[in-house]
Amino acid sequence: MDISIVLAAGEGTRMKSKIPKVLHKICGKEIIKYVIEASQGANIDKCILILGHGRDEVIESLKDNDVIFENQPIGDSFPYGTGFAVMQGVHHVNDGDTVLILNGDVPLICSHTLKAFMDFHKKEEAAVSVMTAIFQNSHGYGRIVREETGEVTAIVEEKDATEFEKDIKEINSGIYCFSGKELKRTLTRLDTNNSQNEYYITDAVGLLKNEGKKVCGFRIDDVMEISGINNRYQQYQLNHHKQLEINKNHMINGVTIIDSHNTYIDDSVMIEKDVIIYPGTVLQGTTSISEGCIIGPNVTIVDCKIGHDTIIEQSKLIDSFVGNNSSVGPFAYLRPKSNIGDHVKIGDFVEVKNTTVGNGSKASHLAYLGDGEVGENVNIGCGVIFVNYDGTHKQLTKIGDNAFIGSNANLVAPVTIEKGAYIACGSTITDDVGEGMLAIARSRQVNKEKKNQ
């Protein structure tokens, strides 16, 4: 069985945050979820997550993920260190298992890299394999010392390295692959005889080498895959790298992104071919964009589904649906539960909330449509307001097909405008209007002569 043990118990003090470090996000997804998905994508049979600080928050965030949670005790009476963390999950390991040790703050590791790493480890029949990389500036990293045969003889930490060893560019990533039997046996032999009084998994590597066991190094080319996050600047660097990768993949799949450096797309967003995205666009959450759309500039879309050949510019959309061949904006705002049909126009400075707008209808400018049902081919004039709130409850406005709502009309809910009805501009409508009727609700104009002084 292939098992992964993910170390995610650290406090992450350098993040300077109340949020556990592994719950900070890269391109809209928690750091730890990237690591779990990479692990599971490498066909891992069992993923064990070692938690400590912020345990409850992490468990809540991952409640829908197929992982096993283990607790690392916290307190001055307990030793820390990577070795101690691995000990908390080793009871899940059998002698014949292959065990992958991962860090919960290294989000860009790829599943195909992990699969290749484990395949290499098994082929070499090693007791332990170490994932390595070449860093031109290796300061601060453990150096990989190899024999002429290529086997790893030692991992030397910066503070213990000789001048010769400090010149070594190959570094330890902190990702390991162990034989289950050797991991279990070696963990019992670790001690805290070091400056930090901690158990180190690197000591297990040294113990196995001293016993004459085979220790291998697996070098990868992309150093970003093993880059960890300890502070907000490193989070920014990895977020930026991931964002450019996401944008590149969309472009390769037929999406035109005018300026990749000024376009933000979450990892979870789906975009079909022949979509054009202009600068300043932010696409987040479960958003999906169908083919042929034009998005931007300066558009934010969160958790929305957009139909094909629709144009959205300089607007904000949240948890809504927009159909095919429609247009939204500029400066429109679709709040949650807006359902916009096909060939619909939602124009400038129009706000829609919890309202369905039928096919072919239009609200071209300066209107508020809150808590409503608008039929097909309805015209909503400039300045129309759905007066949906009575001070206690939200009420519903219904407008039938082919109705015409004149400019500056107030529709005081609950109210129904039947199909084909006409509301005169400037009216405040408090009663239902029947099919095909004209409703006028305004005072008669009175002009008075100016009196002579």
- Pick from 323, 338, 401: nearest CA to 369: 338
Q: Which of 24, 91, 365, 393 is catalytic?
A: 365
Quickly tell me which residue has 């400038």 as its tokens: 348
CA-angle at 194, arms to 189 and 196, nearest 5°: 115
265: nearest Cα among 291, 285, 292: 285
Half-sphere exposure for 22 (CA within 13 Å, toward CB) = 30
Distances (CA, A) of 199 to 101, 170, 195, 269, 375: 15, 24, 11, 41, 68
309 Rama class: left (phi>0) / alpha (psi -120 to 50) / beta: left
Q: Which residues pair with 47 in a beta bridge?
A: 4
Amino acid found at 191: D
Gap between the Cα atoms of 269 and 305, Å rounded: 10
Amino acid making up residue 4: S
Who's near 76: CB < 8 A, 6+ residues apart?
A: none
User: What pairs with residue 144 in β-bridges?
Assistant: 155
Contact 85, 200 (CB under 8 A): no
CA dihedral 110, 116, 122, 128 (to 10 degrees): -50
Identify whether 365 is a catalytic site residue.
yes
The residue type found at 162 is: T
Instruction: Report the C-alpha gap between 443 and 232 in whole angstroms.
Output: 62
CA dist 356 and 378 (Å) reads 12
User: Beta strands of 358-387 (E only): which ranges?
Assistant: 362-374, 379-380, 385-387
Phi, psi of 276 (to 5 degrees): -110, 125
Q: Coil, strand, or helix at residue 112?
A: helix
Which stretches of 368-414 are DSSP H helices? none
Q: Which amino acid is at 410?
A: N
Closest CA to 110 of 1, 222, 2, 10: 222
**Which structure tokens are listed for 176?**
């390991």
Q: Which single residue is written with the structure tokens 């539960």?
A: 337
Catalytic residues, by residue number, are: 365
